[in-house]
C-alpha cells in the first residue's frame, strides 16, 4: 500500500494465523482481538488514553447487497501508534477494495480522517438496502391488494424482521458516532476531522430515520392485512353460523314427524309436502331473524 506517515493493515478474521500474528506484532490485548472475532459483538467505541489505543466496532451491510440482515456483520478498527488496523471477515472484501482505493488515492489523510472516510462509506452502503427493502414492500403490498396469500404474508413478515435487524444496526452505528464525540481523543481532532465526523453523523441519522420509517410502514401494512384477514374470518364464521341455524329448522321438523306416535297430517294426502313447507317456512323465519340480528 502507499507510503504514509501512518500505515494501514487489514486482517482477515477467517485466517486464524493472521489474527494471531497481528495480535503479537501490534501488541494487542486478547480483549481487543476478542471484540473483532466475536460476530455477535455490539457496535461500540473506546479509547485507552494510557496505551493511546483507539478501538471502534461498526456494523457493516450485508456483502450480498440483500435487504436481509438476519445475521449481524461487523468491522473493527484499531488505531495504535502509527498503525491503523481493520479486522473483518471474508464478507467485508468489497468494502476493503473501496478502502484500498481511498487509501491509494493521491490525497494526504490522517489515520482518523481515513477512519471517518471509511465509516462514511459504510453508512452510505446501507442506503441501497433501504431502497431495495422499500421496493420489495411496495411489490408485496401491490400483490396483497390483488390476492392475500399465505406466501405473501410470510414474505411481508420476513421483510419486517429484516427491517428490524437493519434498523438496529443503524441505531447502534449512530450511537457509536455520538459516543465518539465524548471521548478524550475527539478533543485532539483537527477541524477537518470534526467536520467529517459531523458529515458521517448526518448520514447515520438519516439512515436511522429511513429505517424507522420503513419499519413503521411495514408494521402498519402488516397490521392492515391482519385486520383484513380477521374481518374475513369473522364474515366466514358469521356465514357458517347463520346457515347452521337455518339448517336446524328442517332437522327439527323432520325429527318431530319422525316420531313413532300419532302426528298431524299423518294420514293427510300430500302430508310430506306440508312438512317440507313447514321446514322451509321455519328456515325462512330463522334466516330473516338472523339477518336482522347480525346487521343491526
pLDDT higher for 118 or 39? 118
Angle (CA) 14 19 24, round 5°: 175
117 CB-near residues (< 8 Å, 6+ apart): 102, 109, 196
Q: How high is the pLDDT of residue 67?
A: 42
Mean pLDDT calculated for residue range 84-98 = 89
Q: Are 78 and 8 in contact (CB under 8 A)?
A: no
Looking at residue 76, what is its pLDDT? Answer: 95
pLDDT class of 296 with cuts at 50, 70, 90: low
With cut-offs at 50, 70 and 90, classify the pLDDT of residue 248: confident
**All 3 cell numbers of residue 286?**
330463522
pLDDT band at 208 (very low <50, low <70, confident <90, very high): very high
Nearest to 43 by CA among 16, 75, 17, 19: 75
pTM higher than the cut 0.85: no
pLDDT at 2: 40
pLDDT digits (tens, 9 = 90+) for 108-145: 788 999 999 999 999 999 988 888 888 888 888 888 77
**Which carries the bigger pLDDT value, residue 280 or residue 172?**
172
Predicted confidence (pLDDT) at residue 258 exceeds the cutoff of 70: no
**Chain-wide mean pLDDT for the chain?**
83
**51-85 confidence digits (pLDDT tens):** 889 999 999 987 655 544 445 689 999 999 889 99
Q: What is the pLDDT of residues 212-247, one digit of tens each?
A: 888 888 888 777 777 777 777 787 887 787 778 777
- Which three-class secondary structure string do you get for the chain? CCCCCCEEEEEECCCHHHHHHHHHHCCCCHHHHHHHHCCCCCCEEEEECCCCEEEEEEECCCCCCCCCCCCCCEEEEEEECCEEEEEECHHHHHHHHHHHHHHHCCCCCCHHHHHHHHHHHHHHHHHHHHHHHHHHHHHHHHHHHHCCCHHHHHHHHHHHHHHHHHHHHHHHHHHHHHHHCCCHHHHHCCHHHHHHHHHHHHHHHHHHHHHHHHHHHHHHHHHHHHHHHHHHHHHHHHHHHHHHHHCHHHHHHHHHHCCCCCCCCCCCCCHHHHHHHHHHHHHHHHHHHHHHHHCC
Amino acid at each position: 500500500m502507499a507510503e504514509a506517515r501512518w500505515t494501514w493493515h487489514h486482517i482477515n478474521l477467517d485466517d486464524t494465523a493472521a489474527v494471531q500474528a497481528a495480535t503479537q506484532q501490534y501488541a494487542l490485548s486478547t480483549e481487543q482481538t476478542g471484540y473483532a472475532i466475536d460476530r455477535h459483538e455490539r457496535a461500540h467505541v473506546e479509547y485507552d488514553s494510557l496505551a493511546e489505543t483507539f478501538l471502534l466496532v461498526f456494523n457493516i451491510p450485508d456483502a450480498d447487497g440483500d435487504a436481509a440482515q438476519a445475521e449481524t456483520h461487523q468491522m473493527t478498527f484499531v488505531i495504535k501508534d502509527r498503525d491503523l488496523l481493520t479486522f473483518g471477515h471474508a464478507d467485508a472484501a468489497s468494502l476493503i477494495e473501496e478502502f484500498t482505493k481511498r487509501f491509494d488515492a493521491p490525497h494526504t489523510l490522517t489515520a482518523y480522517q481515513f477512519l471517518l472516510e471509511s465509516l462514511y462509506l459504510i453508512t452510505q452502503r446501507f442506503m441501497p438496502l433501504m431502497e431495495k427493502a422499500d421496493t420489495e414492500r411496495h411489490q408485496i403490498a401491490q400483490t396483497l391488494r390483488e390476492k392475500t396469500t399465505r406466501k405473501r404474508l410470510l414474505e411481508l413478515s420476513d421483510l419486517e424482521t429484516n427491517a428490524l435487524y437493519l434498523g438496529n444496526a443503524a441505531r447502534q452505528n449512530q450511537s457509536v458516532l455520538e459516543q465518539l464525540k465524548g471521548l478524550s481523543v475527539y478533543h485532539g481532532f483537527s477541524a477537518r476531522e470534526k467536520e467529517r465526523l459531523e458529515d458521517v453523523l448526518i448520514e447515520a441519522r438519516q439512515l436511522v430515520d429511513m429505517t424507522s420509517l420503513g419499519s413503521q410502514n411495514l408494521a402498519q401494512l402488516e397490521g392492515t392485512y391482519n385486520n383484513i384477514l380477521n374481518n374475513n374470518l369473522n364474515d366466514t364464521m358469521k356465514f357458517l353460523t347463520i346457515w347452521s341455524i337455518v339448517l336446524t329448522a328442517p332437522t327439527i321438523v323432520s325429527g318431530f314427524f319422525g316420531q313413532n306416535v300419532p302426528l298431524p297430517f299423518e294420514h293427510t294426502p300430500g302430508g310430506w309436502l306440508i312438512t317440507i313447507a313447514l321446514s322451509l317456512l321455519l328456515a325462512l323465519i330463522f334466516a330473516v331473524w338472523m339477518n336482522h340480528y347480525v346487521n343491526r
